[in-house]
Amino acid sequence: MAEQGDFLHVVTNDNITQRRMAFGRALMWGSALVLGLVALAQTLQETGHADFGFSTWRPTLYAYVLWAICLCWGQVLIRGERGKRVLFVLPAALFVVSMVVFPLLFGLVIAFSDWNLSSPTGRAFNGLDNLRQMWTDGFYWNALANMVRYTLAIIVEYAIAFGLALLLNSQIRARKFFRVAFLMPLMLSPVAVSWMIGKSMMEARFGPLARLARELGWENPSFFGTPEMARLTIMVMDAWTYIPFMMIMILAGLQAIPKDIQEAAKVDGAKAWRGFWEVTFPLMLPVSITVILIRIIFKLKLADIIINVTAGGPGGATDSVTSFIFREYRDRSNVGYGTLLAMVYLVLIVIAITIVMKLTDRWARPRY
Amino acid sequence: MSQQIFHDSPDDLAVKAKWFSGRVAIYGVLILWAIICLFPIYWTITTSFKMAPDVMKGNLIPYWDYQPKSLGWRSLGLSPDTIWAESTVREEFLKRFYNSVITALCSSGLAVFLGSLAAYGLSRFSYRFGFMRNSDISFFFLSQLILPPVVLALPFLVLYKSLALLDTRIGLILLYTLTVLPIVIWIMRDQFAGIPKELEEAALVDGLSIWGAFATIVLPIALPGMVAAFILSLVLTWNEYFFAALLTSTHANTLPVMVASQTGSQGISWWSMAALSFAAILPLIAIGIVLERYIIKGMAAGAVK
């Protein structure tokens, strides 16, 4: 992330009295104390040392919210104008920290335990057993390999999206109609898409796509028969939903290119093909990288279509990691193992994305 | 009869033919892709008016191939003859619809509120939270995009269970807010960066506080961007399926969960399936047509720096 240097510089003279500061501190520490006490009481009850009559962990949640509010208020009381500035970022930061960091830490604990939600025994640490189980779980490795395959399909999606964006950017009539029409697939819910396209339109007997395939000479159209075909179908359906997304972003990039550069190339005698490859495409490189990165990020979350159309079948061939873990939980309520798989997936993603970002950063830096 | 004096030279005619064929090719591709994009929607609408034999024969065009019947809509309690009568199915559908509306609106609103504030702060002031500077904080927010939902899903399942937030709308709203927050911050940071800071400086000189300047000067200018972020979040949260399927069971189900769980005992009744699917996608189709400008603006904001 580039550092934005253009900050608003404000000098204010705050007259914060000692009493106000003391009140602010008292508020922050007092609410923290309340939170600590409530949490302690609940932990004691959970471990069986005392009974305060709590049925859920809600009181701790309320105490936490109270603490968060007091923290924000205390900032203003203690630091005056600077506290008000902190108030812009603090709520969002608190929200994200409490919604991501805390569950992630909690998830780490779950990941190394044997925990089946439907069994009465509850949670028990089992060390690295889950990791060992994962190592020999062919289905998980298959799902990871599938993610690589699905991600590679982005290259084709990108090419199609780029072509469509070029068409939309050229001199055409009814541009608004085509833009709205091309945008439509993005608006549709993946679940509805998987039912109406994956199940209905690809139905082997009456589905229009199957009939079209028969017209084109494919004897017995089955879109989910073989693993390769099923994977391809999933890729196509996912591409159908997300090509508009890439197309719009590329279109925005195309429209930001100054027209005179392309005109200069034309005056210099460049044909359309060369003009594209030597002027437009290089200029679009930063936008393209952003688009592809975001698309990869979205692709790594791919699950809805797979869960609803194939449920991973045939034989786990189309599973993405997310859909695999979803079924792992749905079928076996195995929280511990599922969480470990998800954690491993996260680590792999972070490593892969970091490498990709470093590489593209070096590769795409403009060399003037 | 007058003689034509000026003729196009053969070279020019060749160019014209080439230009013409180019046009045909461009419009051909455009129309083909428009059909690819729109046909599934057409198929959904027409199927919802079919009867079993029409579906099996694969009839396509209403009134020509087959006679439209409101069988599918009757199964939702929304056909002309059932719309005034009591209907438990419709109650069920409306409940799910209402759940979807509430969760999508609330989470998008909350995300835009939190995200705009954070984005404004990050684009105007320099912060230090411990070792974290502005760029680190921005990166911290944006890096949440990478986090796949499945990593949070199971811990949240367990946490929500102990917090009694499972199968509640609030639980879903909080999670959805989290998933769209990075996108909102991304769009809004771009918006605020485009507003000259001299505006606020003038407002501050005139005696407004920072928050006053933000609310009265900056917000109105950034409003189109906020609408764009809101609409984009709305699309994402309305369609969300994964969390909803895991975390809700009876009370807080959203529409996608209802659509996904429609497997009857005697095969799938395509007509009611299609009616339900169409009802689920209709609000977003309307938004897409009416507010297309904002959606494109929102997505373009991130692409071009």
- Nearest CA to CA, how far is B143 from chain A (Å)? 10
pLDDT band at A10 (very low <50, low <70, confident <90, very high): low
Q: What is the pLDDT of residue A2?
A: 42
Structure tokens at B137: 């904080």
Compare all CA atoms of chain A with the CA of B139 and give the residue at the minimum distance.
A1
Compare all CA atoms of chain A with the CA of B278 and give the residue at the minimum distance.
A192
Q: What is the pLDDT of residue A3?
A: 45
Q: Residue A262 CA to chain centroid, in angstroms?
A: 36
Distance, in Å, from the CA atom of A73 to the CA atom of B111, rounded to the nearest integer, reads: 21
Contact B210 A103 (CB under 8 A): no
Contacts of A150 in chain B (CB under 8 A): none
Q: Residue with structure tokens 């592809």?
A: A292
Strand partners, B62: B66
Contact B134 A182 (CB under 8 A): no
Contacts of A206 in chain B (CB under 8 A): 55-58
pLDDT band at B115 (very low <50, low <70, confident <90, very high): very high
Distance, in Å, from the CA atom of A205 to the CA atom of B29, rounded to the nearest integer, reads: 29
Structure tokens at B283: 């609000």
**pLDDT by residue (tens digit) across A279-299?**
888 888 888 888 898 899 889
Distance, in Å, from the CA atom of A181 to the CA atom of B34, rounded to the nearest integer, reads: 6
Contacts of B274 in chain A (CB under 8 A): 196, 200
SS3 of residue B66 by DSSP:
strand
Structure tokens at B48: 């919802």
Compare all CA atoms of chain B with the CA of A324 and give the residue at the minimum distance.
B150
Compare all CA atoms of chain A with the CA of B31 and give the residue at the minimum distance.
A178
Distance, in Å, from the CA atom of A153 to the CA atom of A115, rounded to the nearest integer, reads: 36
SS3 of residue B50 by DSSP:
coil
SS3 of residue B299 by DSSP:
helix
Structure tokens at B13: 């005619």
Reported ipTM: 0.86
Q: What is the pLDDT of residue A351?
A: 92
Compare all CA atoms of chain A with the CA of B53 and give the residue at the minimum distance.
A206
Contact A192 B44 (CB under 8 A): yes
Contact A183 B295 (CB under 8 A): yes
**pLDDT by residue (tens digit) across B33-44?**
999 999 888 888
Q: What is the pLDDT of residue A310?
A: 81
Q: What is the pLDDT of residue B305?
A: 52
Burial A45-54 (b: 16+ CB within 10 A, else e): beeeeeeeee
Contact A92 B114 (CB under 8 A): yes
pLDDT band at A336 (very low <50, low <70, confident <90, very high): confident
Contact B241 A325 (CB under 8 A): no
**Amino acid of residue B303:** A
- Pairing, β A113-114 against β A124-125: antiparallel
**pLDDT by residue (tens digit) across A144-158?**
998 999 999 999 999
SS3 of residue B129 by DSSP:
strand
**Burial group, residue A205, by CB count within 10 angstroms (0-12, 13-18, 19+):** exposed
Q: What is the pTM of this model?
A: 0.87
Q: By C-alpha distance, which of B176, B148, B294 is closest to B227?
A: B294
**pLDDT by residue (tens digit) across A41-72?**
888 887 777 777 777 788 888 888 899 999 88
Tell me phi and psi for residue B132, to 5 degrees: -85, 125
Contact B135 A1 (CB under 8 A): yes
Distance, in Å, from the CA atom of B176 to the CA atom of B271, rounded to the nearest integer, reads: 31
The answer on pLDDT for A116 being more than 80 is no
The answer on pLDDT for B244 being more than 80 is yes
Average pLDDT of the segment spanning B281-299 = 86
Cβ A144 vs Cβ B150: under 8 Å: no
Contact A183 B292 (CB under 8 A): yes
Q: What is the pLDDT of residue B302?
A: 65
Distance, in Å, from the CA atom of A345 to the CA atom of A134, rounded to the nearest integer, reads: 11
Contacts of A55 in chain B (CB under 8 A): 164
Contact B43 A191 (CB under 8 A): no
The 8-class DSSP code of residue B4 comes to P
Q: What is the pLDDT of residue A158?
A: 94
- Nearest CA to CA, how far is A285 from chain B (Å)? 11
In CATH terms, the fold of domain A135-364 is MetI-like fold (1.10.3720)
DSSP string, A114-170: E-BTTSTT--EE-TTHHHHHHHT-HHHHHHHHHHHHHHHTHHHHHHHHHHHHHHHHS
Contact B40 A181 (CB under 8 A): no
Tell me phi and psi for residue A35, to 5 degrees: -60, -45
Residue A343 touches partner B, C-beta closer than 8 Å: yes
Distance, in Å, from the CA atom of A70 to the CA atom of A65, rounded to the nearest integer, reads: 9
Interfacial A residues in 36-75 facing B (CB < 8 Å): 55-58, 61
